[in-house]
Structure 1
Amino acid sequence: MRTDERLHRTVEHPTRRDLPRMSRTRVWLFGLTLASYVAIVVGVVTTSKLVTLDWQVMLWRPYKQWPQIHAFLDYFVVLGQRGPTAVIVLAWLGWRSWRRHTLHPLLVLGTSLLLLNVTVGAVKYGLGRLGPHYATTVGSSEMFAGGDIFPSGHTANAVVTWGVLAYLATTQRARRLGSVSSALLALGVGATTVYLGTHWVSDVLLGWAAGLLILLALPWFEPAMARTEDLILAGWERWRRSGLMSPVPVAGPSVVVGPRPSEEDESSREPVGAGSLGASVGQASAAQAPVAQAPAAGPQSSAAAQPVGSPAGAAPSGHHTPGRPSAVRNERTPLTPAGSRRPPVERPGRPATPLVHQQGRGRGTQT
């Protein structure tokens, strides 16, 4: 299939009818998740028992309890970093967009990452909580201290990035399998950050809630993504057509375009080379009219004008001397203003009576 046909098919959006919609169940899940999000924030700000749990786990130091898995979890936590996970998922969704002839998967990934950066980043810097390694007072919430640890970015990114694959699944079985896999992966990344001591437990809980809110709210952004896709494809189509319709300059000699001659003019026109040569010869013969119209000296002059071995009155052959332009003659000898280019041929007169015959006749008379 050619690229033009693929681009033409993308305008039709054949998979728009399969997109997830904001059902009543999804609305209820979004409401419960939002309530949990607010409850976690309030519990940390008010230094509730949730903060006490944070300190108990931090002082227990899980990385010292199980040091044998420390090296493995250092690599496993990379699955929650934004850069590596975005590259992996972008490569997969890019191939899928090319196969399905739609930009929808890429737009879903871009929209989810944009919402993640805006919402999680705003809360991080707005609350300013310090992490476990930078805590100053035991039992305090460490809020509004210039930190950027609450909620956990690794956890929220793992929920959103891997959850997008389940969101874009085309079958019910693939959607369920993707949801379970992404949930387990996000739980593992969040627990790993607590094990390594880089986040509080409440950070991870709020990161799970933040990522789930973004996934549940994606259907509300589907109309905006559809309009964006239409604008991108329409702009691409205009650019492609303008590129195909624009004239391409060709370097070369200038050609004068004139009216096309009729068939009668073409039939009466001489071949290229013959007409131009005939015109030049005609002008030369007109300038040297006394020489060209002078009577020939005799039969020898007419014979000298023809090639050797050719019969008298025959047209010259097509051979020409190298370095000189060859004149291609038409079947009819073209006439110029000076007349025909052939020199006049004089007919030889009747041969005179041989001298021997006259002498013989004279002898007979004498005798």
Structure 2
Amino acid sequence: MRTDIFARLDREPEPPKIETPRMSPHRIALFGGTLAFYLAIVIAVLMSSWLVTLDWKVMLFRPYQQWPGIHAFLDYYVVLGQRGPTAVMVACWLGWRSWRQHTLRPLLTLGASLLLLNVTVGAVKIGLGRLGPHYATQIGSAELFAGGDIFPSGHTANAVVTWGILAYLAATPRARRYLSAMSAIVSLGVGLTTVYLGTHWLSDVVLGWAAGLLILLGLPWVEPLITRAENWIFAAREWLSARGRTVAPEPAPAGTPRPAPACLPAMGDAAQDSAREPAGTGGHQTTVVAATGGRPRAHTAPPAHPGHTARSERTPVTPAGSRRPPHTERTPRGGAAPARPVAGG
């Protein structure tokens, strides 16, 4: 029996092998049938057929006045169809799945589906320009091309896509069945809530269901682009990380002693000067080295002036010999006195 309850929350060691949905013949048949149903609703509203009459009957019935007790609850429940809150909630869940499974496919699939939803539903909204029940001007009219933007219902289509994407990305068939049933119930409830509140016609909700289902059924056609985008993002990340990576020097171990600094002479001529010193100075240097335990002391000689020469190279300024001048009249010691000439003789 498994005791670690949070083990499934840990990150998987490698990306799991999840089979990507393909456009099977069954899916293609569902897509074609849903598309035909979508076009039939648009044509029925354009022709002001019985569907428009049903819209007016439901609106004049005013469900929000018939059952006012559930009005407050449905005001909060309809938020499950708003694009901002639902996209944030689903993106948080799919972001955790992307981190856990080492893949960006869940987030990229959500982004692609919301982009398709904005383009397709938004284009039809602006193109047909239908007004809502609260802004209707003529009873029995389809209220088309009047500057509105409610046909099809964006709340309903968004609920189908955002909650249905969880079923589309499910890893097991059992989870896919449960999530499909949940998304169908939530989107059906959101659509009927907009009819209850009087913000949408019934035909708006039906067309919103069909629009959201078309996007979910057509997502396998977008899978190659999603895979290509994921590979490009990972390649760009590797390139940026390799570009910013710098080779840091390896730190020395904590117990390694630092080497003693080398004692270098101040100038290049110092080595020649030391070689020209008298032999008597060498003994003193040896004695200093022995007294310091075999480690020479660093004696820095004063810098030599560039215009002066070493003492050994200087020429003597006095002549060799005695410095006293010769005295001709002084008698040298131990010798005979010189003969002096006799005056007058």
Range class of TM-score, shorter chain: 0.7 to 0.9
- What is residue 103 of structure 1 aligned with on the other side? 104
Relative to structure 1, the CA distance from residue 150 to residue 276 in structure 2 (aligned partners, 3 Å threshold; closer, same or farther) is: same
Relative to structure 1, the CA distance from residue 285 to residue 75 in structure 2 (aligned partners, 3 Å threshold; closer, same or farther) is: same
Aligned partner (choices 286, 291, 294) of residue 317 of structure 1: 291
Contact kept in structure 2, 1:159 and 1:208, CA below 8 Å:
yes
- What is residue 322 of structure 2 aligned with on the other side? none
Aligned partner (choices 262, 270, 279) of residue 280 of structure 1: 270
- What is residue 259 of structure 1 aligned with on the other side? none
- 2:97 partner letter: R
CA displacement, residues 155-207 of structure 1 (integer Å, 9 cap, x when unaligned): 00000000000000010100000000000000000000000000000000000
Relative to structure 1, the CA distance from residue 53 to residue 327 in structure 2 (aligned partners, 3 Å threshold; closer, same or farther) is: same
- 2:105 partner letter: H
- 1:209 partner letter: A
- What is residue 54 of structure 1 aligned with on the other side? 55
CA displacement, residues 109-138 of structure 1 (integer Å, 9 cap, x when unaligned): 011000000000000000000000000000
Relative to structure 1, the CA distance from residue 132 to residue 314 in structure 2 (aligned partners, 3 Å threshold; closer, same or farther) is: closer
Relative to structure 1, the CA distance from residue 54 to residue 274 in structure 2 (aligned partners, 3 Å threshold; closer, same or farther) is: closer
Secondary structure at the counterpart of residue 130 of structure 1: coil
- 1:196 partner letter: L
Q: Does 1:235 align with 2:232?
A: no
| Residues 184-223 of structure 1: pairs in structure 2 closer than 5 A | 184-223=185-224
- What is residue 87 of structure 1 aligned with on the other side? 88
Contact kept in structure 2, 1:277 and 1:327, CA below 8 Å:
no
Relative to structure 1, the CA distance from residue 114 to residue 282 in structure 2 (aligned partners, 3 Å threshold; closer, same or farther) is: same
Secondary structure at the counterpart of residue 146 of structure 1: coil
Cα deviation for residue 275 of structure 1 reads 6.4
Contact kept in structure 1, 2:38 and 2:207, CA below 8 Å:
yes
Q: Does 1:45 align with 2:46?
A: yes
TM-score normalised by L of structure 2: 0.73
CA distance in 2, matches of 1:306, 1:219: 93
Contact kept in structure 1, 2:131 and 2:143, CA below 8 Å:
yes
TM-score normalised by L of structure 1: 0.68
Contact kept in structure 1, 2:164 and 2:180, CA below 8 Å:
yes
CA displacement, residues 34-80 of structure 1 (integer Å, 9 cap, x when unaligned): 11100100111100010011001101110011111111100100000
CA distance in 2, matches of 1:82, 1:278: 80
Contact kept in structure 1, 2:265 and 2:271, CA below 8 Å:
no
CA distance in 2, matches of 1:27, 1:166: 18
CA distance in 2, matches of 1:314, 1:227: 77
CA distance in 2, matches of 1:45, 1:21: 35
- What is residue 326 of structure 1 aligned with on the other side? 298
Runs of 4+ in 1 over 3 A off after TM superposition: 274-282, 313-316, 325-328
- 1:326 partner letter: A
- What is residue 181 of structure 2 aligned with on the other side? 180
- What is residue 113 of structure 1 aligned with on the other side? 114
Q: Which has the higher helix share?
A: 1
- 1:224 partner letter: L
What's the C-alpha RMSD, in Å, of the aligned pairs? 3.3
CA distance in 2, matches of 1:314, 1:198: 103
- What is residue 344 of structure 1 aligned with on the other side? none
Cα deviation for residue 145 of structure 1 reads 0.6
CA distance in 2, matches of 1:314, 1:51: 114
Secondary structure at the counterpart of residue 103 of structure 2: coil
CA displacement, residues 326-346 of structure 1 (integer Å, 9 cap, x when unaligned): 359xxxxxxxx999xxxxxxx
Relative to structure 1, the CA distance from residue 315 to residue 61 in structure 2 (aligned partners, 3 Å threshold; closer, same or farther) is: closer
CA distance in 2, matches of 1:87, 1:208: 21
Relative to structure 1, the CA distance from residue 275 to residue 21 in structure 2 (aligned partners, 3 Å threshold; closer, same or farther) is: same
Cα deviation for residue 24 of structure 1 reads 1.3
CA distance in 1, matches of 2:267, 2:136: 104
Relative to structure 1, the CA distance from residue 117 to residue 284 in structure 2 (aligned partners, 3 Å threshold; closer, same or farther) is: same
Contact kept in structure 2, 1:167 and 1:175, CA below 8 Å:
yes
CA distance in 1, matches of 2:275, 2:176: 97
Secondary structure at the counterpart of residue 291 of structure 2: coil
Relative to structure 1, the CA distance from residue 216 to residue 283 in structure 2 (aligned partners, 3 Å threshold; closer, same or farther) is: same
CA distance in 2, matches of 1:24, 1:316: 98
Long gaps (5+) in structure 1: 1-5, 249-270, 297-304, 308-312, 320-324, 329-336, 340-367
Relative to structure 1, the CA distance from residue 315 to residue 171 in structure 2 (aligned partners, 3 Å threshold; closer, same or farther) is: closer
| Residues 152-191 of structure 1: pairs in structure 2 closer than 5 A | 152-191=153-192
Long gaps (5+) in structure 2: 1-10, 249-260, 301-309, 313-345
- What is residue 225 of structure 2 aligned with on the other side? 224
